[in-house]
């Protein structure tokens, strides 16, 4: 009986994951930015930058994973292909984060603020820009390109995400080592 229930649950999870991977839209449907349009069919449950994503993060008490990229950025395309289209990685992201995607070319003020914040925190500030932000808008951890698997001294996306989750639980450290962003304005 237990094995039957387990197999049934496993089958349902596979069906849901497969349907997400086959292009069921996330919250980017209707966006006009080329970079965001390209991510509509990714299995990550992306939101555009805005109050809705931050409200959802507050409701779930989860950090925000922010990806800033551009269609012309080779490393952004590589990270999209390797990391964000991987169903297992997307499931992990969807379970632990509220994910937000921003187009570098359509949000210059926001991108400048994010790059300045990461530089002040001594974090990579190029493209792609991978940031981890509290629901209150405090950028507390970040990186640049993160491969799906560890490469030499470059941590994998999963390793960086686990570090971000670990740091998220240390609110005192976040208060000391973060940068408050303007989260109300749209790009």
In tens, the pLDDT along 104-148 reads 999 999 999 999 999 999 999 999 999 999 999 999 999 999 998
In a domain, 187, yes or no: no
Q: At what angle do helices 87-96 and 157-168 cross, to 10 degrees?
A: 10
From first CA to last CA, the distance across the chain in angstroms is: 53
In a domain, 162, yes or no: yes
In a domain, 103, yes or no: yes
In a domain, 69, yes or no: yes
For residue 34, what are the domain limits?
Answer: 2-180
In a domain, 22, yes or no: yes
| Cα dihedral sign, 166-81-54-20 | negative
Q: Is the pLDDT of residue 21 over 90?
A: no
In a domain, 185, yes or no: no
For residue 22, what pLDDT is reported?
46
For residue 4, what pLDDT is reported?
55
Q: What is the pTM of this model?
A: 0.84
Domain count, the chain: 1
For 36-92, write each residue's pLDDT tens digit.
999 999 999 999 999 999 999 999 999 999 999 999 999 999 999 999 999 999 999
Cβ-count burial 138-171 (b if 16+ within 10 Å, e if not): bbbbbbbbbbbeeeeeebbbbebbeebeebbeee
In a domain, 37, yes or no: yes
Yes or no: say if 111 and 104 are a contact pair by the CB < 8 Å rule. yes
CATH number at residue 107: 3.40.30.10
In a domain, 135, yes or no: yes
pLDDT band at 11 (very low <50, low <70, confident <90, very high): very low
pLDDT band at 153 (very low <50, low <70, confident <90, very high): confident
Q: Would you give the DSSP letter of residue 151?
A: B
Q: At what angle do helices 2-21 and 87-96 cross, to 10 degrees?
A: 100
Query: What count of residues does the chain have?
Result: 187
Yes or no: say if 15 and 70 are a contact pair by the CB < 8 Å rule. no
For residue 24, what pLDDT is reported?
55
């Amino acid at each position: 009986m237990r094995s039957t229930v387990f197999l049934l649950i496993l089958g349902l999870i596979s069906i849901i994951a497969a349907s997400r991977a086959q292009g069921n839209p996330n919250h980017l449907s209707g966006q006009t930015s080329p970079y965001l349009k390209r991510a509509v069919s990714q299995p990550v449950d992306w939101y555009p930058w805005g109050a809705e994503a931050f409200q959802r993060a507050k409701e779930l008490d989860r950090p925000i994973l922010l990806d800033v990229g551009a269609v012309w950025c080779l490393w952004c395309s590589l990270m999209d292909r390797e990391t964000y289209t991987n169903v297992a990685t997307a499931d992990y992201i969807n379970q632990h984060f509220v994910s937000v995607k921003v187009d570098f070319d359509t949000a210059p003020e926001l991108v400048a603020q994010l790059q300045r914040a990461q530089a002040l925190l001594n974090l990579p500030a190029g493209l792609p820009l991978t940031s981890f932000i509290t629901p209150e808008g405090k950028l507390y951890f970040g990186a640049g390109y993160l491969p799906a698997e560890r490469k030499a001294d470059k941590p994998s996306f999963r390793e960086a995400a686990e570090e971000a989750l670990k740091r998220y639980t240390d609110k005192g450290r976040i208060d000391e080592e973060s940068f408050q962003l303007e989260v109300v304005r749209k790009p």
